[in-house]
């Protein structure tokens, strides 16, 4: 229709309609642009990202350190934290306070944890075995909190148990404040401490340690694959755990067995998954042939392990409501084929641990940094470290100062 035959009043109204449509169209365009922007994955860090690097390789048979780089410098563990979470859970399984099919209650707080997560719903339950597999494959933060609340009553109380166990194992430079590894300024560790924990958990719990080699896990019809890219790709690799936050960088603890040789290696502060894994491969291949093929080092025994075992035999109050009333069922999945022999092996291991020589007093440089259980002291030491130049890392991974406390507390960083 031509506007030439329309009255001035009609022409004015028509122009007004066109203007309104134009404004609405512009608003839609801006809304679409915002939606597209938010739908795209946001880059967390840029090309200059340089988290502080540290590494160590330990011969498990002899206890000899085959390689170390900044191994005693404070670092954030990220989801390597879940190794200790599982250590305490395995204690309760071994003591009989929990079973693999025990349903653990899910609180609103646990369900609200940031990704990565299983998507647990408040007021429901999750089986212990599903929680274990969710921790080792998906690195689920909600499952970690469920475990912490079941054993400790709250995540805060559970973190105290974690720190106490770390100190008993000889991890003198480690403090835990949560069960997942989500960003926390006061949650620190060292590469040496993580190697010690990586050795201890498999010596102490050879049956349950096998869960760390779980390649994938299906939960509520969702298939999840293990974040550890070295499983099934590096000869002899049998675990154990990855971790990442913006503050920590890309972390990995690996265990490798070849021809009776066994090493545990730690890389902290990788700039990407690929570079971290590449560095770990280099360390494994450069040191595995140097490891001893005979067991000469004493088993890693926690100080007063016998007392700890007796304490674990009594279920914490938080577990009383979670224990299953049904008869014990045979373990499913990876544990079933070796149950009988594994129980015998565990008894022998326990006997050795009860009589094993406690770990020697940490070397002077570690002793000087002993945290005395104080979170305030831990944070202060981190600030001192940030003010000092960091040691040079590997050719592929360089070191830099730790992020400031205000950055570490932010929500970016999935602890996965």
Burial class (CB in 10 A: 0-12, 13-18, 19+), 127: middle
Three-class DSSP labels, the chain: CCHHHCCHHHHHHHHHHHHHHHHHHHHHHHHHHHHHHHHCCCCCCCCCCCCCCEEEEEECCCCCEEEEECCCCCECCHHHHHHHHHHHHHHHHHHCCCCCCCEEECCHHHHCCCCCCCCCCCCCEEEHHHHHHHHHHHCCHHHHHHHHHHHHCCHHHHHHHHHHHHHHHCCCCCECCCCCCCCCCCCEECHHHHHHHHHHHHHHCHHHHHHHHCCEEEECCEEEECCCCCCCCCCCEEEEEEEEECCCEEEEEEEEEECCEEEEEEEEEECCHHHHHHHHHHHHHHHHHHCCCCCCCCCCCCCCHHHHHHHHCCCCHHHHCCCCCCCCCCCCHHHHHHHHHHHHHHHHHHHHHHHCCCCCCCCHHHHCCCCCCCHHHHHHHHHHHHHCCCCCCCCCCCCCCCCCHHHHCCCCCCCC
What number of residues does the chain have?
Answer: 416
Catalytic residues: 79, 82, 139
CA–CA separation, 65 and 313 (whole Å): 34
């Amino acid at each position: 229709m031509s506007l030439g035959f329309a009255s001035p009043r009609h022409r004015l109204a028509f122009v007004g309609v066109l203007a309104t449509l134009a404004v609405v169209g512009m608003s839609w365009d801006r809304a679409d642009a915002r939606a597209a922007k938010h739908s795209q994955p946001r880059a967390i860090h840029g090309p200059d990202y340089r988290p502080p690097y540290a590494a160590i390789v330990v011969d498990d048979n002899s206890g000899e350190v085959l390689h170390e780089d900044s191994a005693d410098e404070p670092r954030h563990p990220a989801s390597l934290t879940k190794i200790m979470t599982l250590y305490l859970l395995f204690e309760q399984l071994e003591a009989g306070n929990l079973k693999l099919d025990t349903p653990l209650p899910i609180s609103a707080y646990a369900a609200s944890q940031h990704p990565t997560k299983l998507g647990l719903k408040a007021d429901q339950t999750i089986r212990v075995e599903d929680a274990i597999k969710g921790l080792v494959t998906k690195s689920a933060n909600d499952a970690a909190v469920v475990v912490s609340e079941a054993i400790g009553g709250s995540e805060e109380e559970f973190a105290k148990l974690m720190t106490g166990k770390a100190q008993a194992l000889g991890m003198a430079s480690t403090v835990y404040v949560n069960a997942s590894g989500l960003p926390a300024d006061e949650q620190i560790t060292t590469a040496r401490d993580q190697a010690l924990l990586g050795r201890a958990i498999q010596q102490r719990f050879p049956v349950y340690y096998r869960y760390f080699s779980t390649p994938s896990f299906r939960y509520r019809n969702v298939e999840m694959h293990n974040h550890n890219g070295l499983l099934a790709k590096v000869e002899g690799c049998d675990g154990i755990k990855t971790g990442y936050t913006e503050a920590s960088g890309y972390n990995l603890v690996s265990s490798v067995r070849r021809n009776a040789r066994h090493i545990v290696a730690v890389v902290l502060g990788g700039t990407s998954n690929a570079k971290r894994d590449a560095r770990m491969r280099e360390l494994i291949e450069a040191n595995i042939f140097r490891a001893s093929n005979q067991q000469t080092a004493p088993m890693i025994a926690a100080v007063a392990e016998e007392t700890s075992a007796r304490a674990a035999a009594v279920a914490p109050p938080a577990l009383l409501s979670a224990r299953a009333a049904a008869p014990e069922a045979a373990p499913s999945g990876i544990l079933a084929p070796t149950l009988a022999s594994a129980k015998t092996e565990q008894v022998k291991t326990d006997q050795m641990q009860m009589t094993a020589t406690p770990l020697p007093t940490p070397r002077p440089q570690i002793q000087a940094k002993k945290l005395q259980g104080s979170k305030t002291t831990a944070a202060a030491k981190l600030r001192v470290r940030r003010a000092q130049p960091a040691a040079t890392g590997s050719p592929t991974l360089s070191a830099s100062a730790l992020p400031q406390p205000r950055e570490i507390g932010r929500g970016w960083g999935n602890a996965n």
